[in-house]
Structures are given as structure tokens and as C-alpha cells.
Amino acid sequence: MSVSRERVVEKYAKAELGFWLYLMTDIILFASLFATYMVLRPNIAGGMSSSELFDPTFALAETVLLLMSSFTCGLAVLFLRFRYKSTGLTLLAVTLLLGGMFLFLEMYEFMEFIHEGQSWQTSGFLSGFFALVATHGLHITIGILWGLVLFWYIFKKGITANAMRRVSLFSLFWHFLDIVWIFIFTIVYLGAFV
């Protein structure tokens, strides 16, 4: 016995509100990490300072990748909504690929810093930096995992009402991470040179 259409609509309305609320709580989570970073930023304890360490061009490359992935994510949702399955799935795959490249760059940057002897154990400033940026990276990882599951689900079961409601929530999440990154780029990377 399958569930009625109204039940699906009603459940989606709840899930959407619930997911927005979850995103708000995530904002508080990031806000706490931003505050921690700002408080600890002057405490370099003999390690490198933010302006010595960061390369804004590198961070710009990451930003461009993530913004592009948000664009393709939006396109993917549109195409899926109009039931272009293969185009939509391709765009979803591109989104995840761009996210993966972003993640790779971030890991590369982390490795670079650690290689230079600037790890999270070096100073309060670096502890704050790694916690903030890695938490964003962890969210991206979860997003990629979620996107892969959605890809597989739509590939197998087609564009069902349930699939679309999950895709909409996924795109909310992905755009949200983009916004958080804009703040990281501005406050952490550009802020180092103000």
C-alpha cells in the first residue's frame, strides 16, 4: 500500500522547515567557530601569523571551484525538476566532482601547512583555523556522500516525488556551504591582509 500524495506533500513541507531549522543551528555552530578563530587569531605563539601563512590566490581558486559547483547544483535541480534525467544526473555528478576538487585543494593546503611545521598543535591561532576550515570541509564531505547516494537513488528509481524532495534539500545544503565558505574566504583568508 503506497502512501497518498497529500501525505508526501505534507511530509515534504515538514522536512523542508525542519531542514531550514537545522541549517540555522549549523550557522550557530559556524558562528561559534568563527568567534573562536577571531579570539585566537592574535595568539600565534611563535608560529606563523595569518598574513605570513595564507595564500589568497589559492583560496580564490577554491572559492571559484565551490561557486561553480553551486551553479551546476542549481542547474541540476532545474533539469531534474523538468524531468531531464540524464542531463540532471550529469550536472549533479559535475557538482560533486567540483566539490571533490575543492576538498582536494583544501587537503593539499592543510598538508602544505603541516609540512611547513604549522599544524593545529603549533598555536591557538592555527587550532582555530584548522577547526573552522576543517569543519566546513567535513560538511562538504558529508554533502558529497549525500550527493552520491542521491545520484544512485535517482539512477535506479527515477525522478520520484521523494527523490525530488531530497534533491531540493540537498541543494539547500550545498548552497548553504557555499555561503559559509564565502565568510571563511572573507574573514579568514582576505581578513589576514587587512
Binding site for other proteins (CB under 8 A): 1, 3-4, 7, 13-15, 17-18, 21-22, 24-26, 28-29, 32-33, 35-36, 39-40, 43-45, 120-125, 127-128, 130-131, 145-146, 149, 153, 160, 162, 166
Q: How far is the CB of 170 from other proteins (least distance, A)?
A: 10
143: burial class by Cβ within 10 Å (0-12, 13-18, 19+)? buried
Distance CA 183, CA 186 (A): 5
Q: Is the Cβ of residue 40 or residue 91 nearer to other proteins in the bound state?
A: 40
65 vs 129 by CB, closer to other proteins: 129
Which bin fits 3, alpha (ψ -120 to 50), beta or left (φ > 0)?
A: beta
CB of 165 to other proteins, least distance (A): 11
Q: Concatenate the DSSP letters of all residues of 86-151 into one string.
A: HHHHHHHHHHHHHHHHHHHHHHHHHHHHHHTT--TTT-HHHHHHHHHHHHHHHHHHHHHHHHHHHH
Q: Angle, to 10 degrees, between the axis of helix 161-184 and the axis of helix 56-81?
A: 160
- Judged by beta carbon, residue 8 or residue 105, the one nearer other proteins is 8
Minimum CB distance to other proteins smaller for 71 or for 153: 153
Find the shortest distance in angstroms from Cβ 64 to other proteins: 29
Could you tell me how far CA 194 lies from the centroid of its own chain?
25
Give me the least distance between CB of 71 and other proteins, in Å please.
25
Question: Closest approach of Cβ 15 to other proteins, in Å?
Answer: 8
Distance from C-alpha of 187 to C-alpha of 194, rounded to nearest angstrom: 10
Kindly state the smallest distance separating residue 18's Cβ from other proteins, in Å.
5
Q: Residue 105 has which C-alpha cell?
A: 585543494
Residue placing its CB nearer to other proteins in the complex, 94 or 131: 131
Q: Which is nearer to other proteins, 64 or 85 (CB)?
A: 85
